[in-house]
Amino acid sequence: MSVTTRRMQDLTIDDHFLTVPLVWGDPADARTIDIHAAVVTREGGEGLPYLVFLQGGPGHEAPRAFHSPSGPSWLDAALEHYRVVLLDQRGTGLSTPVGDDDLERDAAELAEYITHLRADAIVRDCEAVRQHLGAERWSVLGQSFGGFTTLAYLSTDAASLEHVYITGGLSAVGRHPDDVYAVTYDKMRDESEKYYRRFPAHRDAMRRVIDLAVDGGLVLPGGEVASVSRVRSVGSALGTNDGWQTLWGLLERDPRSNAFRHDLAAAMPFSARNPLYYVFHESSYADGHATRWSAERTEPADFREDPTLFTGEHVRREWLDTVPGLQPWRDVTLALAEFEWPSLYDADAIAASDARGAAAVYVNDVYVPVEFSMETARLLPGVTQWITSEHEHNGLRGGGDVLSRLIDLAHGRRVR
């Protein structure tokens, strides 16, 4: 355990490093990892309660502690009410990271290691950090996968939580991953057609890009020969507030130009920077099931027939052969796809948690379908829902308004 302190403008940032078990609840397993949490305090806020931020993903580190625009846009709003704990979830950031150096291990051994990095273990890490800080209770802000982790928190340690704030993260509880991915295709179909109604010429532009990919003519700066499925995945941008602009900028360009190839590479999800995001992405919806390439298996016939329909966070097995940065992870990823994940949520415990807080549910969310979010919301009568089409899935990152509204709702303050 170690703590270092930094000061930046009016912020004090205490970097806490804790050594915790890799496998919680198994004293016979002596393996450990380090967990990093940055505690951010605004001048004068030393006595405020703690709010731990759980990042989206899985497999992404927490944002760094800077004032906006360099740091998270919601941080200033949070610091009005809380000291903010930015946790690098296990396997990411300054916590013991998972990266290409780990590929020196046997694939089966590394796959087994990664099975200990999901939301239930992150909850145990949170509890260790909370106790280390001496907080009897704290609040949590969960964005996307961070909201999934918050539901896991409510399944086991609800007594530790004062308020929960969830943004785009009311996951399906007790559902098979296939149920979720089937609905996300419906969302992407709607968003694709909406985009082409707005920019009808871009459907032909997309066809030209697809033809180039079919011929193997889209070679990206890192050497990847972009496949049709990779090109289509840029549709994930349609799940963000201004992502349509990214797509528009791409399809206005000559697909043979340097600008197009660089921008396409930047726009596609699942890069090698954070391999965990691809390697065990589908596990985030695995509440007691093996995933076995769920998104691939549930692809509807019209998506197979019409490659101009965009896809979102739908991982493909073929990328293990076509994406240079993912190829080394082939055996690990294939093993994890067959892993029988234990149940993550306890619906009865969530319903009995007496949780208080507020949740933003985005009507047009292409990643976390509103239908399942509303099912889960019924388990949380004390968590006020803000159901809105004003924002897409990344609404939290659009400024402090979303978080400020949730805080007001949670505390019974009037919201305009």
Mean pLDDT (the chain) is: 96
As a whole number, mean pLDDT of residues 290-300 equals: 98
Q: Which two tokens stand for residue 257?
A: 């130009």
Q: Are residues 332 and 224 in the same domain?
A: yes
> By mean pLDDT, which of 34-43, 118-127, 337-346, 389-398 is the weakest?
389-398
Q: Rounded distance, CA 109 to CA 105, Å? A: 7
Ramachandran angles phi, psi of 284, nearest 5°: -65, -20
pLDDT above 70 for 68: no
For residues 361-389, give the mean pLDDT. Answer: 97
Assess whether 90 and 198 both reside in one domain. Answer: no
Pair 167, 184 in one domain? no
**Do 233 and 378 reside in the same domain of the chain?**
no
Segment holding 295, helix H or strand E: helix 294-297
Phi-psi region of 270 (alpha: psi -120 to 50; beta: other; left: phi over 0): left
State pLDDT tens for residues 82-97. 999 999 999 999 999 9
Establish if 415 belongs to a structural domain. no
CATH code where residue 403 lies: 3.40.50.1820
Same domain, 188 and 167: no
Q: Quick check: 345 pLDDT over 90? A: yes
pLDDT score for 8: 87
CB neighbours of 308 closer than 8 A, spacing ≥ 6? 192, 196, 203, 206, 207, 210
Residues 320 and 359 in one domain: no
Amino acid at position 21, single letter: P
**Cβ neighbours of residue 121 closer than 8 Å, sequence gap 6 or more:** 24, 90
For residue 223, being part of any structural domain is answered with: yes
Tell me, what's the pLDDT at 416?
61
- Residue 293 pLDDT: 98
Among residues 337, 357, 388, which one ends one of the domains? 337
Residue 19 lies inside a defined structural domain of this protein: yes
In a domain, 17, yes or no: yes
Q: For residue 56, what is the DSSP state?
A: S
Residue 315 scores a pLDDT above 90:
yes
Provide the domain count of the chain: 2
pLDDT band for position 281 (cuts 50, 70, 90):
very high
Q: Do 42 and 84 share a domain, yes or no?
A: yes
User: What mean pLDDT do residues 163-192 have?
Assistant: 97
Residues 95 and 91: their CA atoms lie apart, in Å, by 6
pTM of the predicted structure, to 2 decimals = 0.96
What one-letter code names the amino acid at 345? Y
Tokens describing residue 150: 């918050």
**Of 279, 302, 337, which residue is a domain's last?**
337
List the one residue out of 64, 54, 125 whose CA is nearest residue 94.
Answer: 64
- Co-location of 259 and 306 in the same domain: yes
| pLDDT at residue 282, as a whole number | 97
Specify if 128 maps to a domain.
yes
Q: Are 33 and 76 in the same domain?
A: yes
Do 10 and 99 lie in one domain? The reply is yes
Identify the pLDDT of residue 286. Answer: 96
The answer to whether residue 119 sits within a structural domain is yes
- Domain check: are 291 and 380 in the same one? no
- pLDDT tier at 65, thresholds 50, 70, 90: confident
User: What is d(CA 391, CA 73) in angstroms, rounded to the nearest whole number?
Assistant: 15
Q: Tell whether the model's pLDDT for residue 298 goes beyond 90.
A: yes
Structural domain containing residue 293: 179-337
Strand partners, 71: none
Q: Are residues 367 and 301 in the same domain?
A: no
Give pLDDT, residue 400: 80
Mean pLDDT of 129-140: 98
CA dist 101 → 274, 275, 327, 329 (Å):
13, 12, 14, 11
Which residue's entry shows tokens 């009865």?
A: 348
Domain boundary among 337, 368, 385: 337
CB contact set of 344 (below 8 Å; sequence gap of 6+):
118, 119, 120, 148, 151, 152, 155, 286, 287, 288
In a domain, residue 416? The reply is: no
pLDDT at position 123 over 90: yes
Task: Flag whether 133 is in a domain.
Answer: yes
